[in-house]
Structure 1
Amino acid sequence: MASWLLQSISLLAALISVFIIRIVSAVINCRRNRRKAVGIFHPYTNDGGGGERVLWCAVKAIQEESPDLDCVIYTGDHDASPQSLSSRSIDRFGVKLINPPKVVHLYKRKWVEETMYPRFTMIGQSIGSVYLSWEALCKFTPLYYFDTSGYAFTYPVARMFGCKVICYTHYPTISLDMLSRVHTRKSIYNNDDIIAKSWIYGIVGSCTHLAMVNSSWTGSHIQKIWGISDRVKRVYPPCDTSGLQVLPLERSMSPPKIISVSQFRPEKAHPLQLEAFAVVLQNLDVDLPSPKFHFVGSCRNEADERRLQHLKDLARELKVESDVEFHKNVTYSELVQLLGGAFAGIHSMTDEHFGICVVEYMASGAIPIAHNSAGPMMDIVLPEGGKQTGYLAQDVQEYADAILKILRMPESERLEMAAAARKRALRFSEQRFFEDFKDAIRPIFFHSR
Structure 2
Amino acid sequence: MEELLEQDLTDKNIAILHPDLGIGGAEQLIINVALALQEKGANVIMYTPRFDPDRCFEDCSKLNIQVRGSLFPRSILGRFFALCAYIRMLLCALHVAFFAGGFDCILLDQVSFPIPILRCVNRNVVFYCHFPDKLLCTERTSWFKRLYRWVLDTLEEKTTGMARKVLVNSEFTKEVYHNAFPTLNTEPNVLYPCIIEKNFELPESFNGKSVIYEMLNIPKSQPLPKLVTSLNRYERKKNIGLAIRSFRALINYEGVDPDQYLLVIAGGYDNAVTENVEHYEELLQLAEGLTNIRFLRSISNEERLTLLRYTDVQLYTPENEHFGIVPVEAMYMGCIVLACNSGGPTESIVNGRTGFLLDADDVSQWGKKLHEIFQGQSPNKLLEILKTQAKERVEAKFSFNAFANQLAEYIQ
For normalisation by structure 1, the TM-score amounts to: 0.72
Partners of 1:403 and 1:114 in 2: how far apart? 45
Please, which of 382, 385, 404 is the counterpart of residue 371 of structure 2?
404
The 3 A distance-change label for structure 1 pair 417 and 288 is: farther
Shift of residue 333, structure 1, vs aligned partner: 2.2
Q: Distance in 2 between matches of 1:78 and 1:242?
A: 24
| Aligned counterpart for 2:17 among listed residues 22, 41, 46 | 41
Equivalent residue in structure 2 for 1:159, among 114, 119, 124: 119
* Counterpart AA for 1:425: V
Aligned equivalents of 1:307, 1:56: Cα separation in 2: 29
**1:290 is matched with which residue: 253, 260, 268?**
260
Contact 1:241 1:425 in 2 (8 A): no
- The answer to whether structure 1 residue 210 and structure 2 residue 180 are counterparts is no
Q: Which residue of 1 aligns with 2:184?
A: 227
Matched, 1:313 2:284: yes
Aligned to 2:313: 344
Q: CA deviation at 1:211?
A: 1.3
Write out per-residue CA displacement over residues 122-173 of structure 1, whole angstroms, 9 at most, x where no aligned residue: 566546644554455455354232113x101221222234453112222222
2:68–2:95 CA contact under 8 A, matched in 1: no
Q: Equivalent residue for 1:57?
A: 32
Q: Deviations over 1:304-344 (max 9, x none)?
A: 5414631553255x311x31222222222221111011110
Structure 1 residues 52 and 418 mapped into 2: Cα distance closer, same or farther (>3 Å)?
Answer: same
Name 2:235's counterpart in structure 1. Answer: 265
User: Bigger CA drift: 129-138 or 356-365?
Assistant: 129-138
Alpha-carbon spacing, 1:287–1:258, altered in 2? closer, same or farther (3 Å):
closer
Q: Using the alignment, how far apart are the partners of 1:133 and 1:108 within structure 2?
A: 14
SS of residue in 2 equivalent to 1:272: helix
Please give the secondary structure, in 2, of the residue aligned with 1:295. Answer: strand
User: Does the Cα contact within 8 Å between 2:45 and 2:65 map onto a contact in 1?
Assistant: yes
What is the CA–CA distance in structure 2 between the aligned matches of 1:195 and 1:49, rounded to whole Å?
Answer: 27
> What amino acid does structure 1 have at the position aligned with 2:49?
G
**Shift of residue 376 of structure 1?**
0.7
Are residues 345 and 102 of structure 1, via their aligned partners in 2, closer, same or farther at CA, if it must alter by over 3 Å?
Answer: closer
Secondary structure at the aligned position of 2:28 is classed as helix
Query: RMSD of aligned C-alpha atoms?
Result: 3.6
Q: 2:70 and 2:61 mapped to 1: Cα distance?
A: 28
Distance in 2 (alpha carbons) for counterparts of 1:392 and 1:114? 40
Return the TM-score normalized by structure 2.
0.78
Q: 1:437 to 1:419 in 2, by over 3 A?
A: same
Question: What percentage of residue pairs aligned between the two structures are identical?
Answer: 18
Contact 2:73 2:84 in 1 (8 A): no
SS of corresponding position for 2:113: helix
Q: Number of aligned pairs? A: 374
- C-alpha change, 1:37 and 1:240, in structure 2 (3 Å) is closer
Q: CA shift at 1:286, angstroms?
A: 3.5
Q: Structure 2 residue aligned with 1:356, among 302, 325, 335?
A: 325
Matched letter for residue 161 of structure 2 = S
Pick aligned residue for 1:117 from 71, 74, 79: 79
1:291-440 equivalences in 2 (<5 Å):
291-300=261-270, 301-307=272-278, 309-311=280-282, 313-316=284-287, 318-320=288-290, 322-377=291-346, 379-383=347-351, 387=353, 389-395=355-361, 396-409=363-376, 410-426=379-395, 427-440=397-410
Match of 2:4 in 1: none
Which AA in structure 2 matches 1:42? Answer: H
d(CA) in 2 for partners of 1:78, 1:364:
29
CA contact (8 A) 2:194 2:403 kept: yes
Mark the CA change 1:73 to 1:324 in structure 2 (over 3 Å): closer, same or farther.
same
127-136 or 341-350, which deviates more: 127-136
Distance 1:209 1:170 in 2: 17
Deviation, structure 1 residue 390: 2.4
Given that residues 142 and 163 in structure 1 are in contact (C-alpha distance below 8 angstroms), is that contact kept between their aligned partners in structure 2?
no
Cα distance in structure 2, aligned partners of 1:66 and 1:109: 34
Cα contact 1:155–1:207 (8 A) shared by 2? yes
Q: CA deviation at 1:257?
A: 0.2
- Give 1:282's aligned amino acid: N
Q: Which amino acid aligns with 2:343?
A: A
Shift of 1:355: 1.0
Question: Where does residue 50 of structure 2 map in the other structure?
Answer: 77
Cα 1:417–1:284, aligned 2, differ >3 Å: closer, same or farther? farther
Unmatched segments (≥5 aa) in structure 1: 1-35, 443-449
Distance in 2 separating the partners of 1:423 and 1:241: 12
Partner Cα separation in structure 2 for residue 258 and residue 78 of structure 1: 32
Report the CA distance between 1:416 and its aligned residue: 1.6
2:117 partner amino acid:
V
Distance 1:402 1:212, change over 3 A: same
Greater C-alpha Rg: 1
Instruction: Check the 8 A contact 1:214/1:237 in 2, yes or no.
Output: yes
Deviations 1:202-238 (A, max 9, x none): 21110111112111111223345262444x2211112
Pair 292,253 (structure 1): closer, same or farther in 2 beyond 3 Å = same
Q: Compared with structure 1, are the counterparts of its residues 269 and 145 closer, same or farther at alpha carbon in structure 2 (3 Å cutoff)? A: same
Alpha carbons 2:236, 2:279 under 8 Å: kept: no
> Which one has a larger percent helix, Structure 1 or Structure 2?
1
1:284–1:302 distance in 2 versus 1, CA, 3 Å: farther
TM-fit CA distance, 1:287: 5.5
Distance 2:67 2:354 in 1: 47
